[in-house]
Structure 1
Amino acid sequence: MAGWDIIFEPSVPPALILALAMTGIAVLLYSAYRRARGAPWRAAALAITLIALVNPTMRQEDRQPVPDVAAIVVDRSDSMNIGARPQEAQAALARVEADLKSIKGIDTRVVYVEGGSEGTDESGEGTRAFAALEQALSDVPRERVAGAIIITDGEVHDAPKNAKALGFDAPVHSLIVGRKNEKDRRLTILEAPRFGIVDEPMKLAFRVDDTGAEGQGKAEAPVTISVDGKEMMRTDVVIGQKTEVTLSLKHGGPNVIEIDAAPGTDELTLLNNRAVVVANGIRDRLRVLLISGEPHPGERTWRNLLKADPSVDLVHFTILRPPEKQDNTPINELSLIAFPTRELFVDKLDEFDLIIFDRFKRQGILPLEYLSNIARYVEDGGAVLDAAGPAFASPYSLYRTPLAAVLPAQPTGEVTLGGFRPEVTETGRKHPVTADLPGADGPSPKWGRWFRVIDSKVDRGEVLMSAPGGRPLMVLDHAGKGRVAQLLSDQIWLWSRGYEGGGPQAELLRRLAHWLMKEPDLEEENLAASMEGATLAVKRRTMADATSPAEVTLPSGKVVELPLEKTAPGRFEGRMPAKELGLYRVAQEGLNAVTAAGPLNPKEFADVRATDAILKPIANATGGGTYWVGENAADTPQVRGVRPDHDAAGDNWIGLKRNDQYLVNAVRQVPLLSGPIALILILGALALAWRREGR
């Protein structure tokens, strides 16, 4: 393609040409005033001189047309998977691409806005159609952009506030799939605390809306509230009004609270009928009752361990003067106030989270009624840890009290002395209290020795640690609703003193205490689910040697089986891609776990009704149009190329701007008035002027 232009390349500065022109015009005006006969020829000479100085040139360019670029953004976010929207979007795309093929000089780029954990909504920012448009045109000069066509349900969450923010001057058109005036029920969280005290009331506020439907503020909707997959309550709420409910967290750490509204009469999707809140359970204060019997070197170890934790309220009941000790100390000098034994062991016993017996010896100081209360406390859900000393093998044993009903090991009456290293049993390698205990790996433990074990016979429960010869050393058991642990040696304090390198005393007792208080992370049978990027990870802990596949319910409601592979004794794991946004439910052998992919309550599902209200302002600002194409693919407007100064949208057509950009491959220039010719013309004009005036 060739292009012709006339250009001017002045031989001298333009200011000098202007000055010469002004001077010449003044002289010519004076000549005209004097009626000089040669004035016209002098004017011609001046004109030729000026033309020669500006140097007009004819330029020919060999031009190569450069095509314009149009972007088609196709929304494939999760809200576009509702109903027939995917098929409607595909039909509209096919029509647009067919029209564009017939328009020469426009290149088309199709970009997809994906949804779910593989797409752009992991951060909760919703459908980012304009971010995808910017990426598609990032390498295109702004003057070559012909325009953009967005095929979507209208739920776009990054629409710019004005056309200037787009960075190009071209029309943006939107083709809306779906139906006008759609109706849907959705649930919205209004107030949700991120933290809550375990077993204390916590308020949660939400609202159920039937968008686009009648009955707001009048009709009611059933709502189910579950925590960690277990149903906690059901209630009927007024649609369109704020609802507050009170519930309590049952354990420390993350608690997944799910609120589920029953389906309405008109539903686009059930995914936004559900909302999820993760509240971290915090124990206000752990109340521990430490009952010390015979004084020994390890008594201070227990006290130091418990007092080092600021969240522990410790009550220490210790027997400093047994009844058989007789001396002349007056009773009123033994203590300033009477110890509140009845208040502790009768009135407020149930307020304790854990009771520890440290080398307790039955000496008649605590009545059997009090010990019977402790047995009942365990049966009702309490926790007891017995760190036994030699007295456990004597007639003064704690086993010869009502507590025998909940203690899993009974003494044989023998005490074995001699150095040994505690060993983790095969059962203990599976149990969360002793699994992977630091120093326990290898053929022999890498920790210091103990020197005494109380020989016992285990009636029930699980032996996690043992002494040489298979003698039980640590026994755990479930008693009624509560839990009991027995440590059949009083030598664990040697580890805290670092004897022969010490051992994991603090870690072991921390795990033991948390297991006794029913922390989920220390449960023998536990199922956990979490998101690792775009992957769902399921972890199963069990005391069994094998386990069945887990059933995973996807956010869409589809159920798939996930095989679990053994990774360690008592531990199994499985992984699968998480392609959908929302809540994943995992069930296996009576256990349940829940986790969410992406944000807990995605903006993508805040409102899934098709709308043109979001994109219409930007379409109008750029000269584009907004069209509903969902009900009939034939409603898709025809695509045309338009000049920059023409309308870019009509009733049944949309236009893409033709910028007529090109590349110049070669340039040829020919002066219109060369120097010699100009000189001849100037001299000729002057000669004619002189001749005219010489007559």
Structure 2
Amino acid sequence: MGSIVFAPHIPLTLLWILVGLAALFTTYGFTARARGTWARGLAFLALLLALANPLLVQERREPLRDVAVIVVDHTQSMDINGRRGEADKVAADLKSRLQREPNLDVKMVTVTTNPAGEDTGTQAFTALNSALADVSPSRVAGAFLVTDGEVHDVPAKSRLAPVHAVIVGKRGENDRKLTVVDAVRYTIVGQQATIVVRVDDLGGGEGGIAQVKVRIDGADAGSADVVLGRNTPLQIDVGHEGESVVELEAEPGPSELTLQNNRAVVSINGVRDRLRVLLISGEPNAGERVWRSFLKGDPSVDLVHFTILRPPEKLDSTPLNQLALIVFPSRELFQDKLDAFDLVIFDRYGEHGILPLGYYQNLAGYVANGGALLVSAGPEFAGFGSIYRTPLSAVLPAQPTGDVIAKPFKPQLTTEGLAHPVTQGLSGAIGQNGQPSWGRWFRMIGAQKVHGETVMSGPSDKPLLVLDRVEKGRVAELLSDQGWLWARGFDGGGPQTELLRRLAHWLMKEPELEEEKLTAAIAGGELSVVRRTMAKEPSPVTVTKPSGQTVSLPLTKSEPGIWRGVVKADELGLYRATDGKLSAVAAAGPLNPKEVADMRATDRLLQPIVEQSGGGIAWAADGMPEIRRISRSRRMAGDGWMGIAENKASRVVSVDQSPLLPPWLGLLLLLGTLMLAWRVEGR
């Protein structure tokens, strides 16, 4: 292939000026009927051609191979009814046919689900654009999408043409779907949260009732009947602060593709309104200020504090109106309003006849019904005035021996204490030579454990801090009144505030401090399961994936009381872990992903972009269409066939240039035309 180009010896602007002047003079000559004007015009032409320097350019081109792309859908919706296997067969057949076409390269890419990513659904066109990122548009012959049609990144327009779709699946599929229409994110602990749900039989009829089961943090929470096709509010009890994972599952419909979209998950955060704590100090003591400062420092705590300044056995002549502003309201506190308190603390309180024995019985019943009791004991606990000699002994885990041990010692974590969340990892628990680095205490009350768990011990391994569960409630006994020494920094101090915080929150059933707990979390494409237990070895854990596949997960001990296991999270949706007693759930990706929202095969989503690109849609169940290689046109598909463009693109390999008017020839031509003009004018 050759072409003529000009490479002027002078600037192009000057050349055009000369052309204009030559045209002007020549035109004037013809107008004035001057002799030899045509000969002078030839001379001007010869001069201008010589200055314009015409070149003959010859290019040598090499044909470029066209490129066709096959995008195969391997996302989660393709895992049902053998769709993935069918898609792979279709893609292999397409590739085989295309590879037989001359001058055509075939690329095949797959689209997979990313459990750790955002809720983007099936990104087929993103994968297509990535495959063609290094390909010139002039070489693109076409693209084929092998999918169930559930594509979530369909553009409004495409510069790529043609785009064909082969739909894997069956027409007119029916499926039941559960949708969370609305849900609150926060609610007060103890109140109900409202979740609005909707159950639809996609592709089926309307009307009817579907039962929706509810689980909260893996535990069964009942069920509700929901009218199909109608928004229905459900009331969910929120029993603890922090995150509550609510699972909703609709019963299978008359025709189901999958049960994955019969389930939905909602996360509700429980927020405590106010915590009411009753602190009774039996007498003024150094630790009283520590308790008060700790509880008053928490803005979410309403503290009611009474200190017994004068017990009945103390005889003096001081009038009552000079000792206290009010009389100790024992009836209101221990009978009328006892259930209104979240935690009751006895700080060095002894039985002096202030409270009738019936009130101690009330307090024992308060614990059994779900209340929390903390006893911080001093010497009074070992004597005849010990509250252990009251009906309250039924819920106390440690019985005093009558001894008061008065010597320096450092509190030690027991084997149970190293594993219990109240004391595990306390700062300073293990220092040099394996001994605690915190300060010493100087007094503790001799006692023997009756039941519960001893998490801290004193001299001769005697129990120092004992924790116990009593029916629905919890009790803790701290058998020393020397904890304030840590708060004052004596002998290096210790983690007094952290210990009291954990102790109070464990008593009030903070989920993060449960000693028997199973948790699951997903990060980096992996499901991490953590089992906290006081047992020597945990029970086996079974993980159920969103698709229903079960995996047995071995756990490895990572630290005292904590066992961990990891499994690959390669599916979007809800993972459930259980050891038979405890359950935990975790969501890969969003809680209710687009990928499983509607899993019916469809051509509706791809129809607009396919038509705009000139492509066609075929259902694999109807048989594969014929593939034709044709010149590019507005319509690249028809009845029973799909076309790919024959672009005939090429690239320049080399360029040869040769002058059409060599200098010697230009000079000769110019002289010849000048002589011709002179001769014509001389006649």
Q: Alignment RMSD, CA only?
A: 2.5
* Residue of 521, 524, 539 corresponding to 2:515: 524
Aligned residue in 2 for 1:105 = 103
1:395-410 aligned at under 5 Å gives the runs 395-410=384-399
Aligned residue in 2 for 1:631 = 621
- Deviation digits for residues 91-136 of structure 1, max 9, x if unmatched? 331232123213333333222211142xxx6211212222222322
Task: Say whether residues 1:323 and 2:312 are aligned partners.
Answer: yes
1:173-184 aligned at under 5 Å gives the runs 173-184=164-175
Retained in 1: the 8 A contact 2:240–2:511? Answer: yes
Aligned residue in 2 for 1:129 = 124
Aligned residue in 2 for 1:571 = 562
In the alignment, the residues of structure 1 paired with residue 247 and residue 150 of structure 2 have an alpha-carbon distance, to the nearest angstrom, of: 25
Task: Say whether residues 1:669 and 2:657 are aligned partners.
Answer: yes
* Residue of 366, 387, 391 corresponding to 2:355: 366
Partner SS state of residue 463, structure 1: strand
Alpha-carbon spacing, 1:484–1:58, altered in 2? closer, same or farther (3 Å) = same
Partner SS state of residue 392, structure 1: helix
In the alignment, the residues of structure 1 paired with residue 16 and residue 402 of structure 2 have an alpha-carbon distance, to the nearest angstrom, of: 125
Task: Tell me the TM-score normalised to structure 1 length.
Answer: 0.92
In the alignment, the residues of structure 2 paired with residue 492 and residue 619 of structure 1 have an alpha-carbon distance, to the nearest angstrom, of: 76
Letter in 1 for 2:269: N
Task: Say whether residues 1:65 and 2:85 are aligned partners.
Answer: no
1:665 Cα offset (Å): 3.2
In the alignment, the residues of structure 2 paired with residue 24 and residue 430 of structure 1 have an alpha-carbon distance, to the nearest angstrom, of: 105
- Deviation digits for residues 335-390 of structure 1, max 9, x if unmatched? 44444322221121111111111111111111111111001111111111111111
Partner SS state of residue 631, structure 1: helix
In the alignment, the residues of structure 2 paired with residue 541 and residue 410 of structure 1 have an alpha-carbon distance, to the nearest angstrom, of: 29
Aligned residue in 2 for 1:546 = 537
In the alignment, the residues of structure 1 paired with residue 133 and residue 499 of structure 2 have an alpha-carbon distance, to the nearest angstrom, of: 58
1:10-29 aligned at under 5 Å gives the runs 10-29=8-27
Retained in 2: the 8 A contact 1:91–1:633? Answer: no
Retained in 2: the 8 A contact 1:194–1:280? Answer: yes
Task: Say whether residues 1:384 and 2:373 are aligned partners.
Answer: yes
Aligned residue in 2 for 1:93 = 91
Aligned residue in 2 for 1:207 = 198
Retained in 2: the 8 A contact 1:640–1:653? Answer: no
Partner SS state of residue 298, structure 1: helix
Among all aligned residue pairs of Structure 1 and Structure 2, give the percentage whose two residues are the same amino acid.
52
1:112-261 aligned at under 5 Å gives the runs 112-117=110-115, 122-163=117-158, 170-215=161-206, 218-261=207-250
Letter in 1 for 2:93: R
Aligned residue in 2 for 1:511 = 502
In the alignment, the residues of structure 2 paired with residue 28 and residue 524 of structure 1 have an alpha-carbon distance, to the nearest angstrom, of: 109
* Residue of 605, 620, 623 corresponding to 2:596: 605
* Residue of 431, 440, 443 corresponding to 2:429: 440
1:3-14 aligned at under 5 Å gives the runs 3-14=1-12
In the alignment, the residues of structure 2 paired with residue 651 and residue 51 of structure 1 have an alpha-carbon distance, to the nearest angstrom, of: 59
Letter in 2 for 1:138: A
In the alignment, the residues of structure 2 paired with residue 562 and residue 169 of structure 1 have an alpha-carbon distance, to the nearest angstrom, of: 47
- Deviation digits for residues 275-306 of structure 1, max 9, x if unmatched? 11111222211111111112211111111111
In the alignment, the residues of structure 1 paired with residue 322 and residue 83 of structure 2 have an alpha-carbon distance, to the nearest angstrom, of: 87
Task: Say whether residues 1:557 and 2:545 are aligned partners.
Answer: no
1:267 Cα offset (Å): 2.0
Letter in 1 for 2:660: L
In the alignment, the residues of structure 2 paired with residue 676 and residue 589 of structure 1 have an alpha-carbon distance, to the nearest angstrom, of: 102
Retained in 2: the 8 A contact 1:548–1:563? Answer: no
Retained in 1: the 8 A contact 2:614–2:634? Answer: no
Aligned residue in 2 for 1:650 = 638
In the alignment, the residues of structure 2 paired with residue 149 and residue 231 of structure 1 have an alpha-carbon distance, to the nearest angstrom, of: 47
- Deviation digits for residues 191-218 of structure 1, max 9, x if unmatched? 2222222111211112112222221xx2
Alpha-carbon spacing, 1:8–1:180, altered in 2? closer, same or farther (3 Å) = farther
Alpha-carbon spacing, 1:285–1:693, altered in 2? closer, same or farther (3 Å) = same
Task: Say whether residues 1:311 and 2:300 are aligned partners.
Answer: yes
Partner SS state of residue 60, structure 1: strand
Aligned residue in 2 for 1:585 = 576
1:630 Cα offset (Å): 2.6
- Deviation digits for residues 143-186 of structure 1, max 9, x if unmatched? 444443322222222222333xxxx5543333332233332221
Retained in 1: the 8 A contact 2:91–2:146? Answer: yes
Retained in 1: the 8 A contact 2:179–2:197? Answer: yes
Letter in 2 for 1:108: V
In the alignment, the residues of structure 2 paired with residue 36 and residue 331 of structure 1 have an alpha-carbon distance, to the nearest angstrom, of: 143
Aligned residue in 2 for 1:423 = 412
* Residue of 75, 78, 81 corresponding to 1:77: 75
In the alignment, the residues of structure 2 paired with residue 384 and residue 111 of structure 1 have an alpha-carbon distance, to the nearest angstrom, of: 64
Retained in 2: the 8 A contact 1:185–1:210? Answer: yes
In the alignment, the residues of structure 1 paired with residue 634 and residue 434 of structure 2 have an alpha-carbon distance, to the nearest angstrom, of: 85
Moved more, 73-82 or 675-684: 675-684
In the alignment, the residues of structure 2 paired with residue 596 and residue 257 of structure 1 have an alpha-carbon distance, to the nearest angstrom, of: 12
* Residue of 232, 253, 258 corresponding to 1:264: 253
- Deviation digits for residues 616-673 of structure 1, max 9, x if unmatched? 333333x3313123313423x5152534x66433334444444444343332222233
Retained in 2: the 8 A contact 1:428–1:434? Answer: yes
Partner SS state of residue 667, structure 1: strand
Retained in 2: the 8 A contact 1:99–1:639? Answer: no
Task: Tell me the TM-score normalised to structure 2 length.
Answer: 0.93
Retained in 1: the 8 A contact 2:546–2:571? Answer: yes
Retained in 1: the 8 A contact 2:46–2:673? Answer: no
In the alignment, the residues of structure 2 paired with residue 130 and residue 457 of structure 1 have an alpha-carbon distance, to the nearest angstrom, of: 71
Letter in 2 for 1:130: F
Letter in 1 for 2:54: P
Partner SS state of residue 429, structure 1: helix
Moved more, 579-588 or 246-255: 246-255
Partner SS state of residue 411, structure 1: strand
Alpha-carbon spacing, 1:618–1:329, altered in 2? closer, same or farther (3 Å) = same
Letter in 2 for 1:106: L
- Deviation digits for residues 557-606 of structure 1, max 9, x if unmatched? 11111111122222211111111111111111411111111111111122
Partner SS state of residue 434, structure 2: coil
Retained in 1: the 8 A contact 2:629–2:646? Answer: no
In the alignment, the residues of structure 1 paired with residue 65 and residue 75 of structure 2 have an alpha-carbon distance, to the nearest angstrom, of: 31
Moved more, 154-163 or 188-197: 154-163
- Alignment gaps of 5+ in structure 1: none
Letter in 2 for 1:650: G
Alpha-carbon spacing, 1:132–1:511, altered in 2? closer, same or farther (3 Å) = same
Alpha-carbon spacing, 1:634–1:161, altered in 2? closer, same or farther (3 Å) = closer
Alpha-carbon spacing, 1:158–1:18, altered in 2? closer, same or farther (3 Å) = same
- Deviation digits for residues 388-410 of structure 1, max 9, x if unmatched? 11111111110111101111222
